[in-house]
Structure 1
Amino acid sequence: MRNARAWHTLTAALTIAALVLQLVLVIQGGRVLDEAEPPGLGLRLARFVAYFTIQSNLLVAVATTLLARDPLRDGPAFRALRLASTVGITVTGLVHFFLLRPLLDLHGADWLADKMLHMLVPVIAVAGWLAFGPRPRVDGRAVAVAFAWPIAWLAVTLVVAGATRWVPYPFLDFRAEGWGSVTVVCLGITALFAALIGGFHRMDRRLAPSRQVGPLTAP
């Protein structure tokens, strides 16, 4: 229990630090995904929240903060939060490594924030889930929420792209890449989510359960 609490505390602290660092850089006009000419502050903040990377890190920060207080936390809302954050941050790390990393040329604090959000947090968050759970915590409702969130994010992102010509990630730019390419990417990411949710669900059942499963409590 003590080791679990320490790990979740560390994960929450590092995730919050990464988010705060990136937020400060955005406010200062730092380069987000290599934007050469950052827009005004209000629009920068709106775009900051629109990134899937930021949303997945925020979910990890909330989930691990709750677990730092109670490593055996449970409840319907928490189960959905925990699964969505774990799957989301895994996708964040994989998509960054394979699709975005070659496109970026960041330095200094921008580079540090990028590596923390896209590499450090995914590694420690997934490692914490594997080592400390808690489990079993994956049920049908959690699976539905974890899958609905990225689908909704994709839909909203594409609608906003159609209305404003801005996309958070270049592989979703249907004007530059074409709808065929973007459709393939969307289907691939959806399939990745489905596979990861299925994998985490299976591991949640097969890995050793937490020593004590307390009563369901709201987050």
Structure 2
Amino acid sequence: MKKILSLIFCLIGWFALIAQYYLLLENNINSFWESTVRFFSFFTILTNLIVAVYFTVQALKPQSKKDTDPGILTSITLYICIVGIIYQVILRSTWNPQGLQKLVDELLHSVIPVLTIIYWYLYENKSSLNYKQILKWAVYPLLYFIFIIIRGSFSGFYPYPFVDVNIIGFTQVLMNAFWVLVFFAGLSVIFILIGKALKK
């Protein structure tokens, strides 16, 4: 059952990512390379890519081979939950996608986060989760933030309005990033607590 779910989930993930890239290029107003770099500048895209790769590995690897680091699935689940929550709370009201874009939008921000949570509930080795892992889990979002700030200072492009230095200023961007980090740490603690409770 685990391999079947992994296969289904990875196919959904790859479809959403490929369709979103196609839609981006179809409505392209920048060069191909600039559009591609911007595509991979979104936390949503990078995180869904990580999720798709994870499910692909789970679908293809031998069934006898166990996960070496149970914290990996929890960290990925946290990242995609951040994607879903921030979109639902902050970004959903900022646009109204139609047609294929609406389908892809829901897959990337709603369906895949829920599927990942279900997978985490079913298959994560929750007994080995601990609070020390939170610092390691935070490396990816921190590196992402550094990347978009550095690139934005050269290109002028910031993928989200709450990190757009051009509009809200660097101080406010740092404040927004701080609160996102606090939220991430809090969500991490919640997942660990839930994991330990479920294991009991």
**Shorter chain as normaliser: what TM range?**
0.7 to 0.9
Query: Which amino acid is 1:54 matched to?
Result: I
Candidates 66, 74, 79, aligned match of 1:73 = 66
Q: Tell me by how many angstroms 1:80 deviates.
A: 4.9
C-alpha offsets along residues 135-162 of structure 1, whole Å, 9 cap, x if unaligned?
Answer: 4453577533321110111111111111
- Is the partner of 1:207 in helix, strand or coil? helix
Give the TM-score of the pair, scaled to structure 2: 0.88
In 1, Cα distance between equivalents of 2:4 and 2:14: 15
Corresponding residue number in structure 1 for 2:167: 176
Instruction: Give the 3 Å change call, closer, same or farther, for CA 203–71 of structure 1 in structure 2.
Output: farther
Q: Tell me by how many angstroms 1:105 deviates.
A: 2.3
Instruction: Give the 3 Å change call, closer, same or farther, for CA 137–54 of structure 1 in structure 2.
Output: farther
In 1, Cα distance between equivalents of 2:110 and 2:83: 8
Correspondence 1:199 to 2:190: yes
Point out the structure with the larger helix share: 2
Unaligned 5+ segments in structure 1 are: 31-37, 210-219
| Cα contact 1:80–1:141 (8 A) shared by 2 | no
| Cα contact 1:83–1:142 (8 A) shared by 2 | no
Task: State the identity %.
Answer: 22
Query: Which amino acid is 2:155 matched to?
Result: T
| Cα contact 1:53–1:117 (8 A) shared by 2 | yes
Give the TM-score of the pair, scaled to structure 1: 0.81
In 2, Cα distance between equivalents of 1:123 and 1:18: 15
Instruction: Give the 3 Å change call, closer, same or farther, for CA 56–8 of structure 1 in structure 2.
Output: same
Does 1 or 2 have the higher relative contact order (CA < 8 Å, sep 6+)? 1
Query: Which amino acid is 1:90 matched to?
Result: C
Correspondence 1:189 to 2:180: yes
Alignment RMSD (CA, Å): 2.2
C-alpha offsets along residues 2-36 of structure 1, whole Å, 9 cap, x if unaligned?
Answer: 2x333222211111111111122122236xxxxxx
| Cα contact 2:158–2:165 (8 A) shared by 1 | no
Q: How many residues align?
A: 198
